[in-house]
Chain A
């Protein structure tokens, strides 16, 4: 399985990548805004995506919609500092599978990625 990490902060992208312990994840792609995320997704078709919400060019909510229109079965986890229930619900109604609020610990992200991978496996079967 492949993972696409979308966040405008290099520090956060690095932090999330460090959390990848799942042996099933073979490649990690990185994008720093929604626009780039959609292009990367269309090209590499990763099974798993972590998505920031507030980003330049194209924001996370719009990126989720576009990615889901390319691949309705993609598994997207929102990782955002935006702690608004409304936005979270909006992200989920557009097709996100879960929501993790920043700041996060490596363990939290690691476990969340496990869950996301398990979810993707169920869909694939």
Chain B
């Protein structure tokens, strides 16, 4: 095998430098044509299959061999169009097509994000127009080999830079003055030759700034202090990595090291070594950025591992259609909603997704949703052009969409880890989630309750808010009609959030008022067959509703505020919330309003009951059939 290409790679190499195989066949060609091509070149990793001149699929050697090695494989596939192979492989997805000027390391990243089943398949490389080879196949192992070679090259490059680093020396006397002895490179490094007799800190001040120069002065004094052990102050050298502005306006990084010069056991002078480490710092930063990206990828995988599989699968399933709806609302060309209505719709969906992401443990998604929600709130008040606002929000939405892709790809990567661990990972694919291969088959007897995952989330969130709380219920999942599960889940998330953020007191205050420090959140479900009603009660043992403040706010908004019942109704009005700030866990008045609308949509209703200082309860009534 030709491995010469490996030797020619540089850290900047692109896909164009990898062995490429430009054989194509039309979907209408016979299967035996493919067989002939694979036989004629034993290295050929795959064939580009086109349909009406467009790339449709890459038939890899592995896939071809798997098909024809079936019983009567040759008999079935050889005389028939390649299309049949594609149908048999269930090849719906577009193959990964990359430009030939894509950097190898980026290409590996993209290739690894393909669905697990396709991860080892070849990739398609499209070359810039006019270069002759329009479309070709690159073998995945070649790509991996190239990637590891480039990583090795980068490390060597780093070492070479360290070896050829520019270094200068000068001497400083007990008064900190620069001596005449210095290496020629000193002038080159600083862009100016320091005058002999000038104190070092004075020389450095215009280059490093006042603060660093002052620290340098202190450090020099320390070095001349005989009580100080030279080796034990290297840690606090303030100039290990000093950013320097040179005379011609450029910035570089210098490393100063100080070595004592002893004469007859006393410290007479200090040798100052100066290295230009700009390139090293630059490479280090590049590497750190790359590490950060890798960490983020891994972090997402961990999030997925920790997440509760049932709720996560449900969340992932609804995520994609919800984000699509949001994108449509943000597109002024689509639909005839007013600008305000668009923002309001988007806000509701985002707010819901944010809560659920937190619930299933996707903290990074939750943070991103929160950021977009904040943008949205700002957009409502801004005087910017509406079209511009929508465009900006669409960009923000892109962040969420790519977070979604990354979560899916994390799930896919995990699914592949082992057959056994696949049980712990929900499928990102709705077809599979319910099917035989699904992660958690929902059979007739085991119903996932709508509060699934809630205890863990409440634990985490209440800890974070500094108000530890425990979730408690004796309700059974099968007491609920199936169509209420998803809406009640949304409602419960909102109520729990409100409760923890606004309802519960700090443990200290709870103790003072004779309550247990650990708060309790309770959920109860009762079926009233006689009334044809389902009653869901959610209750906390927090500070209760502040009827006084509610009355004030209701009056401000011009709502009826005479009786408890009227006050209780007023808190479900849009924009009612009295909390001043919005944060990750509780929104701005959208919550209870949203809850009420949702329940009324189901023919239900919600009521608030509270005893100040003791509890707050929400009673939900929903119709059930006879």
Judging by beta carbons under 8 Å apart, are A92 and B215 in contact?
no
- Contact bitstring B545-561, A, C-beta under 8 A = 1, else 0: 00000000000000000
Scoring A88, A95, A96 by chain B CB atoms within 10 A of each residue's CB, the highest score goes to A88
Our pick among A85, A92, A101 for the contact of B238 (Cβ within 8 Å) is A85
Known contacts: A95-B227, A97-B227. The answer to whether A88 contacts B232 by CB under 8 A is: no
Alpha-carbon gap, A112 to B236, bound state (A): 14
Question: Which residues on the B side are within 8 Å of A97 (C-beta)?
Answer: 227-229, 232
Question: Which residues on the A side are within 8 Å of B238 (C-beta)?
Answer: 85
Is B398 located at the chain interface by the 8 A CB criterion?
no
Q: Identify which of residues 201-223 in chain B touch chain A, using a CB-to-CB cut-off of 8 Å.
A: 215, 218-219, 222
Known contacts: A85-B236, A99-B236, A101-B236. The answer to whether A92 contacts B228 by CB under 8 A is: yes
Question: Which residues on the B side are within 8 Å of A112 (C-beta)?
Answer: 231-232
Of chain B, the residue at the smallest CB distance from A100 is: B235
Looking at chain B, what size class is its interface with the partner chain?
10 to 19
Is B225 located at the chain interface by the 8 A CB criterion?
yes
Of chain B, the residue at the smallest CB distance from A90 is: B218
- Contact bitstring A93-112, B, C-beta under 8 A = 1, else 0: 00111111100000000001
Is B233 located at the chain interface by the 8 A CB criterion?
yes
Alpha-carbon gap, A86 to B236, bound state (A): 10
Alpha-carbon gap, A77 to B236, bound state (A): 13
Question: Which residues on the A side are within 8 Å of B236 (C-beta)?
Answer: 85, 88-89, 99, 101
Known contacts: A85-B215, A92-B222. The answer to whether A101 contacts B229 by CB under 8 A is: no
Is A39 located at the chain interface by the 8 A CB criterion?
no
Is A71 located at the chain interface by the 8 A CB criterion?
no
Judging by beta carbons under 8 Å apart, are A116 and B232 in contact?
yes
Alpha-carbon gap, A67 to B324, bound state (A): 70
Judging by beta carbons under 8 Å apart, are B235 and A92 in contact?
no
Of chain A, the residue at the smallest CB distance from B232 is: A98
Our pick among B215, B218, B219, B231 for the contact of A98 (Cβ within 8 Å) is B231
Alpha-carbon gap, A27 to B37, bound state (A): 81
Alpha-carbon gap, A101 to B237, bound state (A): 12
Chain B interface, >50% SS class: helix
Question: Which residues on the B side are within 8 Å of A96 (C-beta)?
Answer: 228
Alpha-carbon gap, A31 to B210, bound state (A): 39
Scoring A86, A92, A97, A112 by chain B CB atoms within 10 A of each residue's CB, the highest score goes to A92
Is A119 located at the chain interface by the 8 A CB criterion?
yes
Alpha-carbon gap, A110 to B375, bound state (A): 53
Alpha-carbon gap, A119 to B225, bound state (A): 13
Judging by beta carbons under 8 Å apart, are B218 and A85 in contact?
yes
Judging by beta carbons under 8 Å apart, are A101 and B235 in contact?
yes
Alpha-carbon gap, A33 to B228, bound state (A): 24
Q: In whole Å, how far is B340's beta carbon from the nearest beta carbon of chain A?
A: 51
Judging by beta carbons under 8 Å apart, are B218 and A100 in contact?
no
Q: In whole Å, how far is B607's beta carbon from the nearest beta carbon of chain A?
A: 52
Alpha-carbon gap, A89 to B231, bound state (A): 15
Judging by beta carbons under 8 Å apart, are A100 and B232 in contact?
yes
Of chain A, the residue at the smallest CB distance from B238 is: A85
Q: Identify which of residues 60-100 in chain A touch chain B, using a CB-to-CB cut-off of 8 Å.
A: 77, 85-86, 88-89, 92, 95-100
Of chain B, the residue at the smallest CB distance from A95 is: B227
Alpha-carbon gap, A96 to B222, bound state (A): 10
Alpha-carbon gap, A85 to B217, bound state (A): 12
Alpha-carbon gap, A101 to B233, bound state (A): 10
Q: Identify which of residues 230-279 in chain B touch chain A, using a CB-to-CB cut-off of 8 Å.
A: 231-233, 235-236, 238
Known contacts: A85-B218, A89-B219. The answer to whether A119 contacts B235 by CB under 8 A is: no
Question: Which residues on the B side are within 8 Å of A115 (C-beta)?
Answer: 229, 231-232
Alpha-carbon gap, A77 to B219, bound state (A): 17
Question: Which residues on the A side are within 8 Å of B218 (C-beta)?
Answer: 85, 89
Question: Which residues on the B side are within 8 Å of A85 (C-beta)?
Answer: 215, 218-219, 236, 238
Judging by beta carbons under 8 Å apart, are B225 and A92 in contact?
yes
Question: Which residues on the A side are within 8 Å of B215 (C-beta)?
Answer: 85-86, 89
Alpha-carbon gap, A34 to B373, bound state (A): 50
Of chain B, the residue at the smallest CB distance from A98 is: B232
Our pick among A86, A99, A116 for the contact of B233 (Cβ within 8 Å) is A99
Of chain B, the residue at the smallest CB distance from A89 is: B218
Alpha-carbon gap, A98 to B232, bound state (A): 5
Q: Identify which of residues 5-57 in chain A touch chain B, using a CB-to-CB cut-off of 8 Å.
A: none
Question: Which residues on the A side are within 8 Å of B232 (C-beta)?
Answer: 77, 97-100, 112, 115-116
Q: In whole Å, how far is B73's beta carbon from the nearest beta carbon of chain A?
A: 61
Alpha-carbon gap, A86 to B233, bound state (A): 13
28 cross-chain CB contacts under 8 A: A85-B215, A85-B219, A86-B215, A88-B233, A88-B236, A89-B215, A89-B236, A92-B225, A92-B228, A92-B233, A95-B227, A97-B228, A97-B229, A98-B228, A98-B229, A98-B233, A99-B232, A99-B233, A99-B235, A99-B236, A100-B235, A101-B236, A112-B231, A112-B232, A115-B229, A115-B232, A116-B232, A119-B229
Closest 5 CB pairs of A and B: A98-B232, A88-B236, A89-B218, A98-B229, A85-B238
Q: A101-B236, A112-B232 are known contacts; what are 13 more A-B pairs with Cβ within 8 Å?
A: A85-B218, A85-B238, A86-B215, A89-B236, A95-B227, A97-B227, A97-B232, A98-B231, A98-B232, A98-B233, A99-B235, A100-B235, A115-B232
